[in-house]
Structure 1
Amino acid sequence: MTQTFAENPLAADHYTRDEWPSKRGSREAFVERFGEERAQRFTQAYWAMDPVADALYTSGNKSKDIMPNLREALARGEADENTLPEVAALINDMNAALDGVDWERLERGQRAALSIPVLAQNLSLGPGALIHTYSAPSIADILVNTGELTEGAVHRLAYTTNWIYSVYLKDGLKPGNVSYIHTGMVRAMHAHVRRVQTKLGLDYSEWGAPISEFDMFRTWFDFTYIAFTYCRNLGYRMSLEEEQDLFYLWRVVGLMLGIPGDLLEPETDIDASQETIDAIHFVDGEPNEASHALVEALFSGFRTNVKALLPFSDESIDDWQYAATRIMHGDEVADIYNVPHAASRPFTELGIPMVQERYDLLRANPEALEKEVAQNHQMLLDALTQETSYMGQDEGIKMNDGAYRPGA
C-alpha cells in the first residue's frame, strides 16, 4: 500500500505530491535515460512513507505503551485480544508479507550468505554498504540528526549488523522468531524517526519525505546489490542461482519492512538490478557534510569493533579497512572521503583470485560447505544481542538540534 504526505496525518498539507524534488536533478534528463514510467514511480516513492508503521505514532497512545505491546505481539507472531489495534495492523501486514513464502528457497539464500566469512561480510556491510548509504544526502541528513551515528558510531554500526545478521539465522523470519522480532522493531524505529522529523516542520521540497519509500528502497540495495557486489570485489563471487536466492530472501525482508512489492519484484540479482541502481544514483545528489561526518565515524566505529574481536593494532586495522574500502568502492569514491592509500592494497589485490578459488572449492565440497555455514551461523547467533536502540524506543528517539536537517 502506498500513501502520500497528503494522506498521512504526520505530514504537512502544503506539499504537492506530484512534484519532482528540487535536488533530485533534472526530471527531463531522467526521463530521457530511464523513461517516464520510472520517473512517475520514483516521484510517488519520494513522498510515500509507511502508513501501517506510522500509525503506531498517530493513534494517541504513548511509546511507553506501544513498544511493550509491540514486542509481545512480535514474540507471539500474531495479535491477540490484548494487542492494540495499530500494533495488530503492523503484525498482520508483516504476516501478509510471509504468505506463500518458499521457505526452502529462503533458507538457500541464508546459506548463500553464510558461505562468506563473517569478517568479509563485516567489510562489505561496514566500509562497503554503509558508505554507500551515507553518500545520499537525503539519508545522511536524517542519520546525523538522530545523533547516534556520530556520537555513538560503535553502537550504531553494531546495531545495524546485529539486525542484518539476524536475517541469516535459520527459521529466524518465521512469526515469533528472532529476525521476525528484530525486523518488526526496525520498522517501528523508522516510523518513530519519521514522526520526529515531520514534527520539526522542515522544508522537504529538496529531497522528498523523510525516510520515504524511495529511501527505504535505496537502502534495501545496500544489503543486496551493494554488499554482495563488494563481496565480489573481495573475491567472493556467487553463482547466479545463489544470488537470486539471496535476493529472494531480502525481497521477503523488504516486504516485511513495508517496501512495496512492485518496487522489489524486478530486482532478482546483481546484474538484473543494474539499471535501477543507475537510476537511483542519478537522483542521489552529491555527498554532503553529513555524509563525510558519518563516514569518518564509521571508520572509527569499525576499528573499535574489530579490536574487540582481533588482537591487532589500530594501524593494522586501519590499513586493512582502507585497502578494502578502495578495492570495494574504487579510487574515485574513496577520494571523495579522503580515504588514505593503504600499503597492503597491492598484496590484497594479488590475493583476490586465490580467495575466489578457495571460495569456489568450498562450495563444490558439500561437507566443507556445511561446516563453514554451521560455523558462521553459530558466530552470528553468539553475537546477537537484544540490547539495541531499535529494540527499545519506549522513551522515544531523541534528535539533535537540526544542524544537518534537510532543507536547513
Structure 2
Amino acid sequence: MTALLEQVETPPAWVDPLMLHSGDAVSLSITPMWFGLRAITSALTHTYASPATARLLRRTDKPRQTVARRLAESRVWARQTIRPGGLLRGEPGYVTTVGARLRHARLRATALTDWDSGGPALPIGRLDVARTWLGFTLVAHHALAAVGIGTTSEEERHLYRYWSCVAHLLGLDEILYRPVVDHAGACHLRDLLDAMAPAPDGTSRTATAAVIGAHAHATAHAPGAALYEDELRDLIHCLLRRSLGGTAADRLGIPDVAAAAGLMPLNKTLNRQARYWQTFFLATAQTARRQAAEEPGPEPEPIAAVLPLGVALRRRSSTPAA
C-alpha cells in the first residue's frame, strides 16, 4: 500500500495542474444523454469484447444484475473523473480510479488462485486495462462521432493528455499510453491489442447482450422515459453497429436493426449542427461545460445512475401542471 500511494501521489513531470483543475473539457461538452447512451455503453461493450474480461461474469449467479451495477458504476466513475478537479488528490474521480486499480489487483489474485486450482480463467493484465482505457477515449468518442458529435484535432490532444493522468492512476505502463496523443495513435494501439487478444467468444456475446439489455431496461424504467425498452434496445443496437462497424458488431452478436437505422442520418445532422453552434463561441462552450459539470450527481441505485438526468429533468420541468 505504501508503494501504491507513493506512485499515485507522485504526479509525472508532464502533468499540467491547470488541466486537472479544468477537468476533461472535451467530454464535459457532450450532452449528458449522449454521453451516457453512447460513450458508456460503447466503452463497456469494447471492454467485454475481451473474453478474459467477459469471463468474470461467470463468477456471479446473476450476470445481468452484475452488468447493471457495472454500468451504473462506470457512469458514476466517468462523470466523477471528467469533472473539474476530479483527478486532484483525494477528489472523487481520483479516489474511484485508484479504487478501480485495487479491484483489478484483487481480481487478478482471485483469477490466479482459480488458475492454480485448474480453473479456466486467467488474470486480467495490463493489456486488458489498456483496452478499458481505450474504451473511454477512442471507442467512446468514435461512438459519439457516429451520431454527429465529433472532435477537433486540438480537442483530441487535450482528451489524451487528460486521460493519460487517468492511465497513470490506473497503473498502466507509460510505454502503452504516452505515445498516444490523438485518435490515430489510439487506433494503432487498439490494433496492436486486438492482434494479441483472442476473438470475442460466446461469453463476450453474452456480456454484450447483458450490457445492452441493462442499459435499455434502466433507461426505459426511469422517470421521464420517452421510449419503450425494446425501442431503446433497437436504438442501442443501431448506434453500436455504426460505431463498431458491421464485422465487429457481428462478432459480438449485435443485430442489424433497419428500422432504427432510418433515423440515424437526421440524428447525426442535428447533433453536428448543435455541436457546431455550441462551440462556435468561447462563452457558449464554457456554458455547456459548466452545465454538464453541474448535472445532479448520480444516485447509488443503478437505474438512477444510468438515467440521462438532464433530459429527464428538462422534460419534467416542461410538463404543464394538471
TM-score (norm 2): 0.84
Q: Specify whether residues 203 and 99 from structure 1 end up closer, same or farther in structure 2 by C-alpha distance, changes over 3 A only.
A: farther
Indicate whether 1:267 and 2:180 are aligned: yes
Q: What's the counterpart of residue 275 of structure 2?
A: 359
Q: What's the counterpart of residue 193 of structure 1?
A: 107
Q: What's the counterpart of residue 157 of structure 2?
A: 244
Amino acid at match of 1:271: A
1: CA distance, partners of 2:47 / 2:10: 28
Indicate whether 1:374 and 2:279 are aligned: no
2: CA distance, partners of 1:99 / 1:309: 46
Indicate whether 1:113 and 2:27 are aligned: yes
1: CA distance, partners of 2:301 / 2:240: 29
Shift of 1:239: 0.8
2: CA distance, partners of 1:360 / 1:173: 28
2: CA distance, partners of 1:352 / 1:213: 35
Amino acid at match of 2:230: E
Q: Specify whether residues 309 and 319 from structure 1 end up closer, same or farther in structure 2 by C-alpha distance, changes over 3 A only.
A: farther
Note if contact 1:153-1:300 (Cα within 8 Å) is conserved in structure 2.
no
Deviations 1:272-329 (A, max 9, x none): 2222221111122221121011011111110122122542321332232122122222
Note if contact 2:216-2:230 (Cα within 8 Å) is conserved in structure 1.
no
Note if contact 1:144-1:294 (Cα within 8 Å) is conserved in structure 2.
no
Q: What's the counterpart of residue 209 of structure 2?
A: 296
Indicate whether 1:104 and 2:21 are aligned: no
Deviations 1:228-268 (A, max 9, x none): 11111111111111111111111111111110112111011
Amino acid at match of 1:226: V
Q: Using the TM superposition, name which of 369-378 and 165-174 deviates more.
A: 369-378
Q: What's the counterpart of residue 259 of structure 2?
A: 343
Structure 1 vs Structure 2: percent identity of aligned residues?
22
Shift of 1:359: 0.7
Return the match for 1:313 from 205, 221, 228: 228
Q: What's the counterpart of residue 173 of structure 1?
A: 87
Shift of 1:105: 3.0
Q: Specify whether residues 242 and 322 from structure 1 end up closer, same or farther in structure 2 by C-alpha distance, changes over 3 A only.
A: same
2: CA distance, partners of 1:108 / 1:156: 27
Deviations 1:130-158 (A, max 9, x none): 21111111222234435674342221210
Deviations 1:377-401 (A, max 9, x none): 122x5216599xxxxxxxxxxxxxx
Unaligned runs of 5+ in 2: 303-322
Amino acid at match of 1:345: A
Aligned-residue CA RMSD (Å): 2.5
Indicate whether 1:323 and 2:238 are aligned: yes
Larger radius of gyration: 1
Q: Specify whether residues 185 and 370 from structure 1 end up closer, same or farther in structure 2 by C-alpha distance, changes over 3 A only.
A: same
Secondary structure of the equivalent of 2:171? Answer: coil
Q: Specify whether residues 203 and 236 from structure 1 end up closer, same or farther in structure 2 by C-alpha distance, changes over 3 A only.
A: farther
1: CA distance, partners of 2:200 / 2:185: 26
Q: What's the counterpart of residue 281 of structure 1?
A: 194
Q: What's the counterpart of residue 392 of structure 1?
A: none
2: CA distance, partners of 1:203 / 1:236: 48
Unaligned runs of 5+ in 1: 1-85, 388-408
Amino acid at match of 2:81: V
Note if contact 2:24-2:162 (Cα within 8 Å) is conserved in structure 1.
yes
Q: What's the counterpart of residue 64 of structure 1?
A: none
Q: Specify whether residues 258 and 320 from structure 1 end up closer, same or farther in structure 2 by C-alpha distance, changes over 3 A only.
A: same
Q: Specify whether residues 277 and 262 from structure 1 end up closer, same or farther in structure 2 by C-alpha distance, changes over 3 A only.
A: same
Shift of 1:345: 1.3
Deviations 1:201-252 (A, max 9, x none): 3599x99x51111111122111111111111111111111111111111111
Q: Specify whether residues 98 and 113 from structure 1 end up closer, same or farther in structure 2 by C-alpha distance, changes over 3 A only.
A: same
Amino acid at match of 1:166: Q
1: CA distance, partners of 2:153 / 2:299: 29
Amino acid at match of 1:375: Q
Note if contact 1:118-1:376 (Cα within 8 Å) is conserved in structure 2.
yes
